Amino acid sequence: MKMFGYSLRAAALALALITTIAQPLDAQDDARSCLQAGRKSLKAARALEAEERVAMQEEALVLFRSVGSRWPDALEERAQALIEAGRLLQRLGRTDEALASYREVASFNAGAARRVEALAAAASLHRRRKDPAAATACLEEIVQGYPQENKAVAEALLDLGALARDADRFATAVKLARRVLDEHPGLWRQNVDACQLWLGVLVRCHQWDEARNRLERLDALMKERFESTKSWESVQRWMSRLSARKSLTPVPVVDPS
């Protein structure tokens, strides 16, 4: 009875949603309402069983893709719809289609913020697919092409640093961490991540003395930059949790009690 009751609830929810967006290509008044309808479809899909959920996700894709075909001049909504379609396709394991959706954002004047968002999403997917060269190309495009996008550039530099570290290009990884600290002094989260990247490389290379000295300097730098800001408590908390700090903290040689 419980399963039957759940099926009835799922069917009722699906019917209600289908009634709302029964004519996705005709009933939506503008690009924004079409985008919102796609989001509603995805939200409703979470409560459905597998078959109904897949059907609702496909409905969302139809809605997202129709934004650009019906309102090609609504650049903001068109770009956002492509990005959300890409993320959905990625969750469904259709990664080639997801990348194509992200790339399409670069084919029209979507605005810097949306183009950077699409490039970052594509870079993340390339990293998941074990394609560091493609990921690097996307990240470098962010850094070189959109210097005004301060936070996105800092995060792209950190991702490039992580790729360099993973490829054992340790000097490059440290250089990129230092660049984040030098060029983006107001971004506390990215500053903390740069500290971890730098210290993590030193620990990995067994540069213990240099790592301890650098940790002391970075602690002082973070205090200088953020002690008087509302972010200071968060900075302290995350700096205390650095994995590199744990590796550098002596442990007493004693028997457990």
Q: What does the H/E/C string look like for the chain? A: CHHHHHHHHHHHHHHHHHHHCCCCCCCCCCHHHHHHHHHHHHHHHCCCCHHHHHHHHHHHHHHHHHHHHHCCCCHHHHHHHHHHHHHHHHHCCCHHHHHHHHHHHCCCCCCHHHHHHHHHHHHHHHHHCCCHHHHHHHHHHHHHHCCCCHHHHHHHHHHHHHHHHHCCCHHHHHHHHHHHHHHCCCCHHHHHHHHHHHHHHHHHCCCHHHHHHHHHHHHHHHHHHHCCCCCHHHHHHHHHCCHHHHHHCCCCCCCCC
Buried/exposed code over 190-228 (b: 16+ C-beta within 10 A; e: otherwise): bbbbbbbbbbbbbbeeeeeeebbebbeebbeebeebbee
Is the pLDDT at 16 greater than 60? The verdict is: no
- The answer to whether 42 and 60 are in contact (CB under 8 A) is yes
Residue 256 has pLDDT above 90, yes or no: no
Q: How far apart are the first and last CA of the chain?
A: 54
Confidence (pTM): 0.84
Q: Residue 27 — pLDDT band, cuts 50, 70, 90?
A: low
Backbone angles phi, psi at 14, to 5 degrees: -60, -40
Neighbours of 159 (CB within 10 A): 22
Give pLDDT tens digits for 185-239.
Answer: 999 999 999 999 999 999 999 999 999 999 999 999 999 999 999 999 999 999 9
Find where tokens 């969750």 sit. Answer: 91
Contact call for residues 35 and 60 (beta carbons, < 8 A): no
pLDDT of 26: 54
Whether 158 and 127 have beta carbons less than 8 Å apart is answered as no
pLDDT of residue 24: 45
User: 1 or 60, which is more confident?
Assistant: 60
Confidence at residue 42, expressed as pLDDT on a 0 to 100 scale: 85
Sign of CA dihedral 147, 139, 60, 40: negative
Q: Are the beta carbons of 226 and 235 closer than 8 angstroms?
A: yes
Query: What is residue 146's predicted lDDT score, i.e. its pLDDT?
Result: 96
Is 149's pLDDT higher than 50? yes
Of the ranges 21-25, 38-42, 195-199, the best mean pLDDT one: 195-199
Mean pLDDT of the chain: 89
Q: What is the pLDDT of residue 106?
A: 85
Instruction: Convert the pLDDT of each residue in 63-83 to its tens digit.
Output: 999 998 899 999 999 999 999
**The predicted structure's pLDDT at residue 5:** 45
Q: Torsions phi, psi of 105, nearest 5?
A: -60, -30
